[in-house]
Amino acid sequence: MTLETQTTRAKVFCIANQKGGVGKTTTAINLAAALALHRQRVLLVDLDPQGNATMGSGINKNTADINLYQVLIGEATVVQARLRSETGQYDVLPSNRELSGAEIDLVGMEHRESQLKHALDQVAEDYDFILIDCPPTLSLLTLNGLAGAHGVIIPMQCEYFALEGLSDLVNTIKRVFRNLNPSLELIGLLRVMFDTRVTLQQQVSEQLQSHFGDKVFKTMIPRNVRLAEAPSHGMPGVVYDKSSRGAKAYLQFGEELIKRVGGKGRRRAA
Ligand code: ATP
Ligand code: MG
């Protein structure tokens, strides 16, 4: 066969930071919805047993009988487990507390770090972007995320210890790059919950830019209460109140990401 078939395979990005409560899930949900609004086909993988990305997408984590746990241990496929977020217009690979058992079940398995990668390979042509919402750990689950991704997006608050925590994560990314996944790259750092009135945040933001240069996304996500309210309505913030400052920032971030990594101009009907 000489004719090359024109298929697109999804770009797979982890939203990761081992620090808790820094805005990973908020970023994952709102980026998924923002990309969908920019006409991209998106799968959001909830790699956290807390199941917040699932719930925040309007899916009840406790009624999703087939979920990421069964997929990781090889008892189900992504096609069987994925559900549609009607509020966000993207697909979700849901999770709940059952997923914490996967850590133990995976330990005895061969290629235990590559289970997610193998599962996602099956649906790579169905999407333009696959986003993985990582838990606040550098665990075997997170390793599965990093081993299966092309890139990492790091949401971070511009606080005093932020840079210190960042070096642990950057070192982990380098180790995964060397040992498990030579195509892994740092896509960028996203400043979240940003308050321009706080001098310390501005200083840390400047430090970040001088250390990481272009790797710092231009878009900054402000602290905005509408983003925090949205999950209790099972909606991404960009849908819940699209005129809010937080929503506008995430929409702009979606656009910046597409420009940076090259999304697809889809032919799909809206
Ligand atoms: P975990 O490490 O537990 O998974 P996380 O990194 O996923 O946490 P989130 O759950 O996204 O963090 O956010 C932590 C809290 O901060 C949540 O209550 C969320 O609603 C709130 N939050 C996140 N981003 C913003 C923002 N830009 N403005 C206001 N509140 C925000
Ligand atoms: Mg989270």
Residue 1 lies in a domain: no
pLDDT at residue 74 is higher than 70:
yes
- CA-proximal residue: ligand 1, atom 20 (nearest): 228
Atom index in ligand 1 nearest the CA of residue 134 equals: 4
- Residue 212's CATH number: 3.40.50.300
* Residue 247 burial (CB count, 10 A): 24
* CA–CA distance, 191 with 208 (Å, rounded to integer): 9
CA of 76 to the centre of ligand 2 (A): 24
22 CA to middle of ligand 1, Å? 6
Per-residue pLDDT, 266 = 45
The count of domains in the chain is 1
**Measured from the CB, is residue 163 less than 6 Å from ligand 1?**
no
The count of other CB atoms within 10 Å of the CB of residue 136 is: 17
- Contact by Cβ (8 Å): 21, 136: yes
How many whole angstroms from 134 Cα to the centroid of ligand 1?
A: 13
Task: Tell me whether strands 90-93 and 185-194 are parallel, antiparallel or unpaired.
Answer: unpaired
Residue 5 has pLDDT above 80, yes or no: no
Mean pLDDT of 54-68: 95
92 Cβ contact partners less than 8 Å away, ≥ 6 residues apart: 43, 44, 45, 46, 53, 54, 57, 59, 82, 83, 84, 85
pLDDT at 163: 82
Q: Is residue 267, in this structure, part of any structural domain at all? A: no
Asked if residue 151 has pLDDT above 80, the reply is yes
pLDDT above 80 (res 269) = no
3 in a domain, yes or no? no
Ligand that comes closest to the CA of residue 157: 1
Q: Looking at ligand 1, which residue's alpha carbon is closest to its atom 23?
A: 23
Angle at which helices 245-261 and 24-37 pack, to 10 degrees? 70
Identify which of 15, 25, 139 to mutate to test ligand 1's pocket (most ligand atoms within 8 A of the CB): 25
Residue 265 lies in a domain: no
In a domain, 266, yes or no: no
Q: Is the CB of 40 under 6 A from ligand 1?
A: no
Instruction: Give the model's confidence band at 6: pLDDT under 50 very low, under 70 low, under 90 confident, else very high.
Output: low
Residue of the CA atom closest to atom 9 of ligand 1: 23
Q: Residue 270 falls within a domain, yes or no?
A: no
Asked if pLDDT for residue 2 goes beyond 60, the answer is: no
Residue indicated by tokens 């919805």: 33
Residues with CB under 5 A from ligand 2 (ion): 24-25, 52
Nearest-angstrom CA–CA distance, 51 and 11: 23
Would you say the CB of residue 136 lies under 6 angstroms from ligand 1? yes
Domain containing 22 equals 8-258
Does 150 reside within a domain?
Answer: yes
Which helix (H) or strand (E) is 54 found in, with range? helix 52-56
Ligand approaching nearest to the C-alpha of 237: 1
Give the whole-angstrom CA distance, residue 129 versus residue 258: 10
Any domain includes 21: yes
Query: Which pLDDT band, with edges at 50, 70 and 90, does 268 fall under?
Result: very low
The angle, 0 to 180 degrees and rounded to 10, between the axes of the packed helices 140-147 and 162-179 is: 60
Q: How confident is the model at residue 29 (pLDDT cuts 50, 70, 90)?
A: very high
